[in-house]
Amino acid sequence: MDSSSPTLLKVENLSKKFLIKKSLLKKEYFTAVDNVNFCLNQNEILGVVGESGSGKSTIGKLILKLIKKDSGKIEFEGKDIYQLSRKEEKEFRRKTSVVFQDPRTSLNPRLKIKQIVEEPLIVHDFPKEERKKLVVQTIKDAGLDETFLDRYPSELSGGQRQRVAIARAIVLKPKMIVADEPTSALDVSIQLQIINLINNLKQKFGISFLFISHDLNVVGMLADRIMVIYRGKIMEKGNARDILKNPLHPYTKLLLASLPPDHPSKRKKLEQVVEVYREETENGCVFYSRCPIAEDICKTKPEYKKSDNREVYCHFA
């Protein structure tokens, strides 16, 4: 059901740099993902939270093999996803899928809903009769009825479109879905519906989700475990409830303190957490320049401190 279930995905020392500038003499790289380690268990929702540009989507794309890793290891069902045979590669594609933030751009506007949902079944050679049956069943699983099948994406509301994107993502009964900010383009009441839908899909089909969001509030409603990312590095990782109740990393505390005051997971003592700005340190903690509690020791790199299902990247944890 949660962190005690068997491992589906195992990520070790994963790193990714992007080339940002190239001249005759020099190439400049930006480290988007920096030595990241985590597991996603069967039937589990792992929330990935962090501010814009922290590398969340890059992690999602790496584990789906949509972009190439630089180094590290990614195992899905015990197999290195860079060592798959052609048959295994196709199987991997069938067992993994993605839901993006904005269904306006992720759904082909020229196709009817039934064609959009059917497409992955065609790619994976399902016979026509079975495809028809599965499309009808899946649109219902996503909380819409058959009358939507003959419509076009432009004839749907934002929430309905996201349900179609989810139907497409689940039609092959995948084991793992990367949901990259799936609720961020929706208003709050619709957000809740999509969150409930994702939770139901986890319960009903045992699908595991890597649920990416910049919003700790949203992640807190859904995730079994959370990892907090800052500049491509995991700052804190642990059970969602524990992290929301008792954040240990100063960056997690900052994220929690920035939630609206009426949110239940906001604790009064966190209101004092104030962000600071100081000069970067080249060889120290990545969070040094903004950390409210940094001292000289933080000019050296911290180790991950591990205890009771929690890992924290901080000298003072």
Ligand X SMILES: Nc1ncnc2c1ncn2[C@@H]1O[C@H](COP(=O)(O)OP(=O)(O)OP(=O)(O)O)[C@@H](O)[C@H]1O
Interacting residues toward ligand X by CB under 6 A: 18, 20, 30, 32, 50, 52-58, 214
Query: Which residue has its beta carbon closest to Mg ion?
Result: 57
211 contacts 222 by C-beta, under 8 angstroms: yes
Specify whether the CB–CB gap between 160 and 144 falls below 8 A: yes
Residue 213 Cβ vs ligand X, minimum distance, rounded to whole Å: 8
Q: Which of the choices ligand X, Mg ion, none does residue 213 contact, using the CB cut-off of 5 to 8 A by kind?
A: none
- Least spacing, CB of residue 212 vs ligand X, in Å: 7
User: By CB under 5 A, is residue 208 in contact with Mg ion?
Assistant: no
Alpha helix stretches (DSSP H) within the chain: 56-63, 86-95, 103-106, 113-123, 128-141, 158-170, 188-205, 216-222, 240-245, 250-257
Token representation of residue 145: 């009825």
Three-state secondary structure call for residue 288? helix
Q: Site for Mg ion (CB under 5 A): which residue of 41, 43, 54, 57?
A: 57
* Least distance from Mg ion to the Cβ atom of residue 223, Å: 17
Q: Which two tokens stand for residue 127?
A: 């016979």
Running DSSP on this structure, what letter comes out for residue 303?
Answer: P
Please name every residue paired with 90 in a beta bridge, in sequence order, or none if there are none. Answer: none
- Compute the least distance from the CB of residue 291 to ligand X, in Å: 19
Residues shown for the chain = 317
Q: How far is the CB of 200 from ligand X (least distance, A)?
A: 26
Q: Rank residues 57 and 96 by Cβ distance to Mg ion and give the closer one.
A: 57
Q: Which is nearer to ligand X, 22 or 245 (CB)?
A: 22
Output 57 or 208, the one with its CB closest to Mg ion: 57
**What does 214 interact with, of ligand X, Mg ion, none (CB < 5 to 8 A by kind)?**
ligand X
Residue 66 or residue 123: which is nearer to Mg ion going by CB?
Answer: 66
CB nearer to ligand X: give 156 or 286: 286
Residue ranges in 171-227 assigned as alpha helix (H) = 188-205, 216-222
State the CB neighbour count (10 A cutoff) for residue 289. Answer: 15
Interface contacts to Mg ion, rule CB under 5 A: 57
